[in-house]
Structure 1
Amino acid sequence: MARDLAPDVERLLQFRDPNIRKKAALCSIRIVKKVPDLAENFINPAASLLKEKHHGVLLTGIQLCTDLCRVSAEALEYFRKKCTEGLVKVLKDVVNSPYAPEYDISGIADPFLHIRLLRLLRVLGQGDADASDCMNDILAQVATKTESNKNAGNAILYECVETIMSIEDNSGLRVLAINILGRFLSNRDNNIRYVALNMLMKAITVDTQAVQRHRPTILECVKDSDASIRKRALELVYLLVNESNVKPLTKELIEYLEVSDQEFKGDLTAKICSIVEKLSPEKIWYIDQMLKVLSEAGNYVKDEVWHALIVVITNASNLHGYTVRSLYRAVQTSGEQVTESDAVDVIEVAIKHHTTDLTTRAMRIKDIIVQDKGNLVLELQQRSIEFNSVIEKHQNIRSALVEKMPVLDEATYSGRRAGSLPAAVSTSQGAALNLSNGVAKAAAAPLVDLLDLSSDDTPAPSSSGNDFLQDLLGVDLSPASSQAGQAQKSGTDVLLDLLSIGSPSAQDSSFTPNALSKSSQDDKTSIGALERLFSPSAPSIQASSPAGGSPMVDLLDGFASGPPLPETNGPAYPSVVAFESSSLRVMFNFSKQPGNPQTTLIEATFMNKSSVIYTDFIFQAAVPKFLQLHLDPASSNSLPESGNGSITQKLRVTNSQHGKKALVMRIRINYKVNSKDTLEEGQIGNFPRDL
């Protein structure tokens, strides 16, 4: 229908009545959008409309030319060569035109025509130096002559800044544009300030130095009462930090941390910690700043941050004394004089507190260990029995257990946090035991090897902080963990003896129920220990599995074998655009395991929308406690430009509240653009409802 009507509409563009010409131009816009290959028919008629004196016809003609340029390279080249000078003259006439009541808004002559002309000039100047040179003078005139005390004037200034930042390089004009944005930051209107912060985020990639001049004003926006402005300003400050200004900027942010609102402390703390860790000039300054942040916002500091601080401190032997004194002063300033007795009392109170997590409660002394031998939380019960066994029965290995912890490998830890190294627990070889959360742990490891106190290959601290098991045994039990180590087979008896369980068959280290049952019949004492673990009246230990066997660890701690990510078609679900920015698109494809509705398999596909290749690409994700997340390694760490390729990565999400709570996920994507680090963050909540 559009094809049939196009010739008639084209003729009406030359009709004598200006209202008909205006309507014909509007109709042409829709035809071009519907049928882009008809664009060439409208190039000459549209160009003739740019000479109109009637503002309504001129406005629609400019919009038609803009849309033609977007769908047709031929039209773009034609208007760029033939019409740029004419458009510049039209804009100059509008800027300098006398007062006209029918077109005037708040003392500004036809701001709508101003804006349409600036947008068309932006399209024509982008990527063309000659066209850009032609419009430089008029853009400077608009930027300096337009009043900024009215909303209509601010709208024109904003479009002028957008055009200046889009056309080819002119450093003087860009400084002028960034200064306009700086004035916007002082405006009382929150919308104008937010728009300015967004534009400065783009401008910083073009002229960082010009944006740096407005750093004090941007820092004031971090303290704004509007949460949206605070968050955007904080992101901009984060991009402004470099080696030369990291100290004063960090000082400003930490001072504001002391008085900031509770709901903003989390974001502010995360940004400060990231800045300090990435740009710290020296270790002593790093330690000082981290201790200040911990003192001001301890509960808002993520586990991986203080884990990293411990790694740095352990590797800086010359700063151990300084760090201890600094920590002691921090404790003193928070209250009265602290004595050794006070410290012990605080620890005991913390252990008994009902909100204390497992990591804290598992750090106990002998008297407290005994209290949890019958605890309903299986993790605490198991730890209590194991440590009590070490204290009372295994004097020969106590000295090895309490040896000085080896210094953590700072380089390895940093690499793992960046995603370049697998989080392996141990490098010794042995048969692997699959745990319920997908972590492969080697079977039959001696307790000393499990504790990893004497190994040179010390695991990095976990960032999850879920329980004492991962801190003590070096096992990463976080749902998102995808790597684990192996250990030797030879020390099985030591671990079994600690748990009062008989030795397994020498031929099989995987501990099938039959082997365990036979061992229990041969050793009445060990059966008694396991009976006390589960039921005072249980006559014997029975274990069954559809596969005919299950790991011994499954009996102790509910660690069933975690299945690998299977390849299955499952039910069909629509793909979603999980995340999209100006430079990146993330698509999620979903499938289910047959018979397992709680588990969702996700294939993430990452597409690069820019014209520059992304390197060192890392995808990270976090989920609430009712979800468990497992990530496979990505297909690559290099993302081709302009959608010429993609990176895929598989995820598995298990929803313990399936049918009650929907999936939700926070993501963080790091990559480098021309060797410059880039970070994108977001929250995904548009998962299909029945997942």
Structure 2
Amino acid sequence: MGSAASLLKEKHHGVLISVVQLCTELCKASREALEYLRKHSVEGLVRILRDVSNSSYAPEYDIAGITDPFLHIRVLRLMRTLGQGDADCSEHVNDILAQVATKTESNKNAGNAILYECVETIMGIEATSGLRVLAINILGRFLSNRDNNIRYVALNMLMKAMAVDTLAVQRHRVTILECVKDADVSIRKRALELVYLLVNDTNVKPLTKELVDYLEVSDDDFKEDLTAKICSIVEKFSQDKLWYLDQMFKVLTLTGNFVKDDVWHALIVLISNAPELQGYSVRSLYKALQASGTQESLVRVAVWCIGEYGEMLVNNISMLDVEEPITVTESEAVDALELALKRYSVDVTTRAMCLVALLKLSSRFPQTSKRIQAIVVQNKGNTVLELQQRSIEFNSIIQRHQSIKSSLLERMPVLDEASYLLKRAASSRATVSLTKSAPSAASGGSLKVPNGAVKPPPAPLADLLDLSSDDAPVTTSAPSTAPNDFLQDLLGIGLIDTSTAGGAPSASTDILMDLLSIGSYPVQNGPLATSNISSPGQVTKHAPGTPQVIDLLDGLSPSTPLPDVNAAYPSITAFQSATLKMTFNFKKQPGKPQETTMHASFTNLTSVTLTNFMFQAAVPKFIQLRLDPASSSTLPASGNGSITQSLSVTNNQHGQNHLRCGSGFRTK
């Protein structure tokens, strides 16, 4: 060790470079060598660096007017190794580092290499604050260099410097912002990451304005990154809801096609929680929609707001001082939704939101109800089953259920902002797609469910339009499968108002439960009752050409709760309407409490024979279902005979999750 340290007194540059490199490797390999060199070699390294910096011109060591930059760099690296985490060693090298940083020319590449290594060393040791500011100023000069490589290196170093001296980096904010607009995509992206780190509560508004202004003229391949960073900055630092809304509306207008789903979901949640800004929001979004109807996320948020707050738009309710009144008729509000419905002909989510918003406006604006019905009916033959079913159900609501329409189409309950943000953060940490783990608000405002309904509300935005959730029940059918009840998504079963603690369900609740295709459960003065059987459902088809009209909103009878699994198993009426009656018999095998065998019996209560009858059952993932063939596919009229079918279910979470029953039917 001593021999290596003694060689630092050599005059020949080749020997010095070799011994400096040897000492560096020894420090990496041995803690003992590191401590020894800290005590005996620092003065020698300072002398070498001073001599090289002050030496006169020597042709054999000169590179573009810089004396031996290779020796400079090797010595600086060894100084960084010795000074890291050691205050005494760092103090000895502070002066020589300041001398190198100020005397080295920055107009030559060799000089820039030395300056870069000097900055790395200053940032790596326990340097004084003044020396760190000097190093960061060197990086600021690098940003003005015409060489893209030098600017990229400077941006990388400034990102590291943020952890050391944020205030010094902030002084170069203007130059860094200019790099965001650079022609080189690598520099743009690195500068954008640095700007994101620079944002704080005091500079968020001017920095956001600069980024939003650039968003309009930026290249398409950069818009996605820029949009994501702006949205993140606005969400993270916003303390003023009005400013937050203004910035998000600008982003939606300029680059709505690049806005992620979780961002505009969060925007809808905020609008829901800001009643004083709902009028301002719907008017601003309507104007933005008229000016730029090609941005997908803008259209979705605007459609949702028009459906929820259409009367505020038409009547200029809740005007702010910064606003000017606008003139929008009821017909023009419907025009905006109709245009969006037609423009996004290939986007199922946006069209579904438009249909929901139109349905809500049919209640808000009764004079437009006939026109809205005509628009809705146009989709009754849509090849997309989701839109076809919505259109059929909505047409039935408009045409035949005026008595419940107003209560059914009330505004959405206020969405729990805190719960949504917590769920969103948890989903991000788990790297789970938000469209699955945090169901979206995409249905354009779930229909409000009256008091006394079945389930307590889960997390906000649950099942508003989660059309393809991983938690969807696994459907087994004989012989084919049918889609799950889309209205469970549309109406947001999780967003049911349970403020009424007891009492029997009202008539409107019974009809609504039918609309949800889940049946209505009995409500008691206390905890909600559920049945301990699985979730069957059935599909009925009548013979082609047979005149038959079945009310899709026909009331379902309440499911009767079963006794405990250890008691007897009486027959129950699982489902009954004016059209169909379904009864269940149950049986359990001794020693197999997790298995239940059911015998279903179906009776036709109409005067028309039903043909091609098919029963289907949907179960959660923890249930295994076996469905045996039915006794027939023809159901005689007027109760003159029945169809029977057996099914058995195995509860893989027996003792943890109970079997429950819900039912619904469709006709085709």
TM-score range, shorter chain: 0.5 to 0.7
Deviations along 1:301-335, one digit per CA (max 9) or x if unpaired, are: 22222222232233233333433443344456559
Report percent identity of matched pairs.
63
Structure 1 CA distance for aligned equivalents of residues 136 and 328 of structure 2: 53
Q: Is the 1:218–1:237 contact (alpha carbons within 8 Å) kept by the matching residues of 2?
A: yes
Aligned match for 2:224, one of 266, 280, 305: 266
Q: Which amino acid aligns with 2:420?
A: Y
2:35 corresponds to 1:77 = yes
Tell me the number of residue pairs that the alignment of Structure 1 and Structure 2 aligns: 480
Matching residue of 1:578:
none
Aligned match for 1:167, one of 120, 125, 137: 125
Q: 1:101 to 1:207 in 2, by over 3 A?
A: same
Structure 2 CA distance for aligned equivalents of residues 168 and 407 of structure 1: 53
Deviations along 1:379-403, one digit per CA (max 9) or x if unpaired, are: 3344344434544555564343212
Q: Which amino acid aligns with 2:12?
A: H
Matching residue of 1:538:
612
Matching residue of 2:387:
380
Q: 1:216 to 1:499 in 2, by over 3 A?
A: closer
Q: Which amino acid aligns with 1:200?
A: L
List gaps (5 residues or longer) in structure 1: 1-42, 424-435, 441-446, 477-487, 532-536, 551-560, 566-691
SS at match of 2:246: helix
Matching residue of 2:659:
none
Q: 1:513 to 1:306 in 2, by over 3 A?
A: closer
Q: Is the 2:212–2:230 contact (alpha carbons within 8 Å) kept by the matching residues of 1?
A: yes
Matching residue of 1:283:
241
Q: Is the 1:219–1:233 contact (alpha carbons within 8 Å) kept by the matching residues of 2?
A: yes
Q: Which amino acid aligns with 2:461?
A: P
Matching residue of 2:345:
354
Q: Is the 1:294–1:301 contact (alpha carbons within 8 Å) kept by the matching residues of 2?
A: yes
Q: 1:452 to 1:239 in 2, by over 3 A?
A: farther
Q: 1:147 to 1:174 in 2, by over 3 A?
A: same
Matching residue of 2:625:
548
Matching residue of 1:52:
10
Aligned match for 2:491, one of 468, 473, 477: 473
Q: 1:419 to 1:138 in 2, by over 3 A?
A: same
Structure 2 CA distance for aligned equivalents of residues 453 and 52 of structure 1: 90
Q: Is the 1:52–1:58 contact (alpha carbons within 8 Å) kept by the matching residues of 2?
A: yes
List gaps (5 residues or longer) in structure 2: 294-325, 360-372, 440-446, 468-485, 495-501, 523-529, 539-573, 576-580, 584-599, 628-648, 654-668
Taking structure 2 as the reference length, the TM-score comes to 0.62
**Cα offset, 1:216, TM superposition:** 0.3
Matching residue of 2:362:
none
Q: Is the 1:125–1:168 contact (alpha carbons within 8 Å) kept by the matching residues of 2?
A: yes
Structure 2 CA distance for aligned equivalents of residues 437 and 399 of structure 1: 31
Q: Which amino acid aligns with 1:402?
A: L
Q: Is the 1:359–1:465 contact (alpha carbons within 8 Å) kept by the matching residues of 2?
A: no
Matching residue of 2:170:
212
Deviations along 1:217-273, one digit per CA (max 9) or x if unpaired, are: 000001001111111111111111111111111111111112111111111111112
Q: Which amino acid aligns with 1:201?
A: M
Q: Which amino acid aligns with 1:96?
A: N
Structure 2 CA distance for aligned equivalents of residues 544 and 318 of structure 1: 43
Structure 1 CA distance for aligned equivalents of residues 454 and 18 of structure 2: 78
SS at match of 1:548: strand
Q: Is the 1:84–1:134 contact (alpha carbons within 8 Å) kept by the matching residues of 2?
A: yes
Q: Which amino acid aligns with 1:316?
A: A
Which stretch shows the higher mean deviation, 228-237 or 284-293?
Answer: 284-293
Aligned match for 2:69, one of 107, 111, 122: 111
Matching residue of 2:60:
102
Q: Is the 1:415–1:421 contact (alpha carbons within 8 Å) kept by the matching residues of 2?
A: no
Matching residue of 1:89:
47
Structure 2 CA distance for aligned equivalents of residues 390 and 332 of structure 1: 29
Q: 1:384 to 1:198 in 2, by over 3 A?
A: same
Q: Which amino acid aligns with 1:345?
A: D
**Cα offset, 1:405, TM superposition:** 1.9
Q: Report 1 or 2 for greater relative contact order, CA contacts < 8 Å, sequence distance ≥ 6.
A: 2
Taking only aligned residues, the RMSD between alpha carbons, in angstroms, comes to 4.4
**Cα offset, 1:524, TM superposition:** 3.0
After superposition, residues 113-152 of structure 1 pair within 5 angstroms as 113-152=71-110
Structure 1 CA distance for aligned equivalents of residues 173 and 285 of structure 2: 32
Q: 1:401 to 1:527 in 2, by over 3 A?
A: farther
Q: 1:84 to 1:422 in 2, by over 3 A?
A: closer
Structure 1 CA distance for aligned equivalents of residues 603 and 519 of structure 2: 6
Matching residue of 1:363:
354
Structure 2 CA distance for aligned equivalents of residues 48 and 308 of structure 1: 66
Structure 2 CA distance for aligned equivalents of residues 292 and 213 of structure 1: 28
Q: Is the 2:179–2:188 contact (alpha carbons within 8 Å) kept by the matching residues of 1?
A: yes
Q: 1:119 to 1:503 in 2, by over 3 A?
A: closer
Matching residue of 1:510:
534
Q: 1:334 to 1:59 in 2, by over 3 A?
A: same
Deviations along 1:48-70, one digit per CA (max 9) or x if unpaired, are: 33233222222122111111111
If you compute each CA radius of gyration, which structure gives the higher value, 1 or 2? 2
**Cα offset, 1:280, TM superposition:** 1.6
Matching residue of 2:140:
182
Structure 1 CA distance for aligned equivalents of residues 97 and 518 of structure 2: 83
2:417 corresponds to 1:419 = no
Structure 1 CA distance for aligned equivalents of residues 55 and 606 of structure 2: 99
SS at match of 2:37: helix
Q: Is the 1:204–1:211 contact (alpha carbons within 8 Å) kept by the matching residues of 2?
A: yes
Matching residue of 1:460:
460
Matching residue of 1:345:
335
SS at match of 1:186: coil
Structure 2 CA distance for aligned equivalents of residues 76 and 198 of structure 1: 28
2:604 corresponds to 1:524 = yes
Which stretch shows the higher mean deviation, 318-327 or 262-271?
Answer: 318-327
Q: 1:229 to 1:218 in 2, by over 3 A?
A: same
Q: Is the 1:46–1:65 contact (alpha carbons within 8 Å) kept by the matching residues of 2?
A: yes
**Cα offset, 1:290, TM superposition:** 1.7
Q: Which amino acid aligns with 2:460?
A: A
Q: Which amino acid aligns with 1:541?
A: F
Q: Which amino acid aligns with 1:474?
A: G
Q: Is the 2:455–2:493 contact (alpha carbons within 8 Å) kept by the matching residues of 1?
A: no
SS at match of 1:239: helix
SS at match of 1:231: helix
Matching residue of 1:662:
none
SS at match of 1:224: coil
Matching residue of 1:250:
208
Q: Which amino acid aligns with 2:346?
A: T
Structure 2 CA distance for aligned equivalents of residues 231 and 475 of structure 1: 43
Q: 1:464 to 1:302 in 2, by over 3 A?
A: farther
Q: Which amino acid aligns with 2:109?
A: N
Q: 1:503 to 1:275 in 2, by over 3 A?
A: closer
Structure 1 CA distance for aligned equivalents of residues 35 and 464 of structure 2: 56
Q: Is the 1:222–1:231 contact (alpha carbons within 8 Å) kept by the matching residues of 2?
A: yes
Structure 1 CA distance for aligned equivalents of residues 618 and 292 of structure 2: 55
SS at match of 2:25: helix
Matching residue of 1:191:
149
Q: 1:464 to 1:547 in 2, by over 3 A?
A: closer
Structure 2 CA distance for aligned equivalents of residues 458 and 526 of structure 1: 39
SS at match of 2:625: coil
Which stretch shows the higher mean deviation, 267-276 or 196-205?
Answer: 267-276
